[in-house]
Amino acid sequence: MKNIAAMFGVFFLGILVVACVMTSGGRSNREMELADNLPAAVEETVSELMEEKNYDITSENEMIADMVEDLSRKLDSNSDITVNIENIDEAKGLMSIKVVASYQHPNGKEGSVSCERTVVFNKLQDDPAELCQVRFLVDDARIYKTCNVWPGDTVSAPSEPTVSGKTFDCWVDVEGNTVDFTQPVTQSQVYYAKYS
């Protein structure tokens, strides 16, 4: 009889130990899974939202709603997800968000994992700036030289064009002003050869 009672005691003690190990192992596994997956899911969700939709800081509620919906699908868990706006800098186009995933451990205790990220709005345009075309004309119609430069760059004066019976003076713009080649080009231009 003592042996049977000892066996039942060892059996229940074994079940209790296994339950404790599974509970703490489950808690650690759940916490590590969320801690590993949450930052990547937040980054991916924010990246997709910013590429697919053009959000403005004034429409943050719409962005948060879309983000929570997409994030919930990516995490594929029964966690409660909370998205908090930590800070907004409209001048710089930045918004800091904090995402908290709350869950319940197998033993019934509450746990949570959080992740903070900064969202950049109004990102730089991918379109490169268009080149400015600078044309040098002789006799008001004949193209002498054409250059393409980036806005803000300068263009060098071409070699002086020769026209029989005339002396080259300078290059002038549409309004007749002498061209200052030290100034940057900001838009396409046409320069005319001026003779005396």
Q: In the prediction, which pLDDT does 80 show?
A: 77
Report the pLDDT averaged over residues 43-60: 64
**pLDDT value at position 69?**
74
Q: Which of 78-87, 93-102, 183-192 holds the top average pLDDT?
A: 183-192
- Choose the most confident range, by mean pLDDT, from 38-42, 110-114, 177-181: 177-181
| Residue with more model confidence, 104 or 21 | 104
Return the amino acid letter for 130. E
pLDDT of residue 136: 93
Say what angle helices 2-52 and 60-75 make with each other, to 10 degrees.
140
- Determine what percent of the chain is predicted with pLDDT higher than 70: 60
Domains of the chain: 2-120 (no CATH), 132-195 (2.60.40.4270)
Q: How confident is the model at residue 193 (pLDDT cuts 50, 70, 90)?
A: very high
The more confidently predicted of residues 19 and 154 is 154
Cβ neighbour number for residue 45 with a 10 Å cutoff: 22
CB of 111 within 8 A of CB of 105? yes
pLDDT at 12: 72
* 148 contacts 128 by C-beta, under 8 angstroms: no
Q: What's the full length of the chain, in residues?
A: 196
User: Is the CB of residue 191 less than 8 Å from the CB of residue 161?
Assistant: no
Query: Using CA atoms, how far apart are residues 139 and 159, in angstroms rounded to an integer?
Result: 16
**Residue the block writes with tokens 């930590």:** 86
Q: Is the pLDDT of residue 23 over 60?
A: no
Whether the pTM exceeds 0.85: the reply is: no
CA dist., res. 35 & res. 41, Å (int): 10
What is the arithmetic mean of pLDDT over 2-15?
74
pLDDT grade, residue 137 (50/70/90)?
A: very high
